[in-house]
Amino acid sequence: MQQVVDLQSDKAFGGLDVELLAISPDPLDAWQEEGGSYGITVPMLADPENAAWDRYGTSGWMMGSEPGHAFFLVGSDGRVAWVRDYAAPEHGGLMYVPPDEIASQVQEALAGTAA
């Protein structure tokens, strides 16, 4: 949750032309309660059936039946343009990434220079 809190107030991330949406498989009431206690103001989607993951073809990034700690950049055409699962071993196994690092990587993806 702290990741979302910090991203929603980060100036570098806020300066990108992207919208942050927090998605969780948790039930709506639990998600609202936890998000509210952290002061999350970005849209939050309760997705207990993982429909968003399935819609964007990203279910391969799930840990078992649960989504991992991943970020997706979805273009206006509805296609996933960039994905990073920071919790994956190849990305350091992190559950928190400094917002400026995420902003930098998203900016590179938007410019078409991300690997």
Q: What is the pLDDT of residue 62?
A: 55
> Given a cut of 60, is residue 9 above it in pLDDT?
yes
Paired tokens of 15: 């300066």
* C-beta separation of 83 from 58 below 8 A: yes
Global pTM reads: 0.79
Give the SS3 label for residue 18. Answer: coil
Domain residues for the domain of 85 are 2-111
Read off the pLDDT of residues 60-78 as tens digits, 9 standing for 90 and up: 665 555 556 678 888 888 8
Count of C-beta atoms within a 10 Å radius of residue 95:
11
What CATH code is carried by the domain that includes residue 77? Answer: 3.40.30.10
Cα–Cα nearest to 59, from 46, 50, 48: 50
Please classify residue 7 by burial: count the beta carbons closer than 10 Å to its beta carbon, then call 0-12 exposed, 13-18 middle and 19+ buried.
buried
Contact between 41 and 8 under an 8 Å Cβ cutoff? The reply is yes
Domain count, the chain: 1
Instruction: Report the alpha-carbon distance of residue 14 to residue 10 in Å, rounded.
Output: 6
| Tokens found for residue 115 | 């690997």
pLDDT of residue 30 exceeding 70, the answer is yes
